Structure 1
């Protein structure tokens, strides 16, 4: 048997990823029709994936998201899609390259596609990879400075005659998300602010 120099397996994977891209683009324009909804599994370690550190710790290898009732800002790019979802009441923005997708399933019509992540002829642009790395560094620096500020505030509170009031965690997270330009639900602000 001769060697497959055309790499039909990769061509088919890329074509099917193109179908997922078209499906998501249509939903981004018109919304979900009928009972359609999607389960999308992806490799959280794939190049170009952007998820918060909190989600990365919770899903170190793979994550499955559901696009059904509560998602927002679905944006489809040439190489990736971005979507807003809520996890445990906390709004998050995810960026998922199409090459990171492992599975796509629409249970309303029993339609499923399975992929080998990273098995693609498509290369992600350097700008996308650099932007994701820069965002990850900025998020890490923000978390470190926040931790230092909390440590420093704790020491000052003990020395002060009047204790400093701390914001409830949900309100603090909502304020941080608002400051970073992320989508924040009104309910996040209402929780004991």
Structure 2
């Protein structure tokens, strides 16, 4: 946290990165996942505003990584975070994850990843989705492949992707 009157570049950078993820998730919510894109999202399960089933919180008492790839539904992106329903052993479970609980966001299909410091007060209210750039509006929309068969949600540890 910066002293009063100073610019806190760290917080500003993390807010901008959360805004970028919100834009991506809004687009996926609207158009589906394009091509080979998929996301590993790790979040802090101890964050006070995380809403997950008790059995998931017991199984993942500190952090949890979810995968948005083959089957997910009800992806809803809000100012304070996002919610999604995933399938765990043929049992759909809703999860609500505030922006401040994010730890990592990775799209391995394009080797893209972000790491965050968790914050209880992170919101996107100061960083709304900007008006679309006219050049971006001319881009072809996402194409959505036929839905693959539904399977169980995967929880993976990102340690396997870290370079040692």
Same fold, judged at TM 0.5 (above): yes
- Please name the residue that 2:94 is paired with: 93
- Please name the residue that 2:107 is paired with: 106
SS at match of 1:24: helix
**CA–CA separation in structure 1 for the residues paired with 2:88 and 2:15:** 30
1:42-88 Cα offsets, whole Å, 9 max, x none, are 00011211000010000000000000001011011111101000112
1:137-179 Cα offsets, whole Å, 9 max, x none, are xxxxxxxxxxxxxxxxxxxxxxxxxxxxxxxxxxxxxxxxxxx
Residue-pair matches, total: 123
**CA–CA separation in structure 2 for the residues paired with 1:34 and 1:60:** 33
Matched, 1:62 2:60: no
**CA–CA separation in structure 2 for the residues paired with 1:93 and 1:19:** 23
Contact 1:84/1:94 (CA < 8 Å) preserved in 2?
yes
Task: Give the Å deviation of 1:89.
Answer: 2.3
Structure (1 or 2) with the larger CA radius of gyration: 1
Which residues of structure 1 form unaligned runs of 5+?
125-193
TM-score, with length taken from structure 1: 0.60
1:103-134 Cα offsets, whole Å, 9 max, x none, are 0000100000000111766499xxxxxxxxxx
Aligned pair in 2 of structure 1 residues 121, 75: CA closer, same or farther (>3 Å)?
A: closer
**CA–CA separation in structure 1 for the residues paired with 2:28 and 2:123:** 23
| C-alpha RMSD over aligned residues | 2.1
- Please name the residue that 1:12 is paired with: 13
SS at match of 1:108: helix
SS at match of 1:11: helix
SS at match of 1:46: coil
- Please name the residue that 2:23 is paired with: 22
**CA–CA separation in structure 1 for the residues paired with 2:73 and 2:124:** 27
If asked which structure has higher relative contact order (CA below 8 Å, sep 6+), I would say 2
Q: How does 1:18-167 map to 2 (within 5 A)?
A: 18-118=19-119, 122=123
TM-score, with length taken from structure 2: 0.70
Contact 1:11/1:121 (CA < 8 Å) preserved in 2?
no
Aligned pair in 2 of structure 1 residues 90, 58: CA closer, same or farther (>3 Å)?
A: same
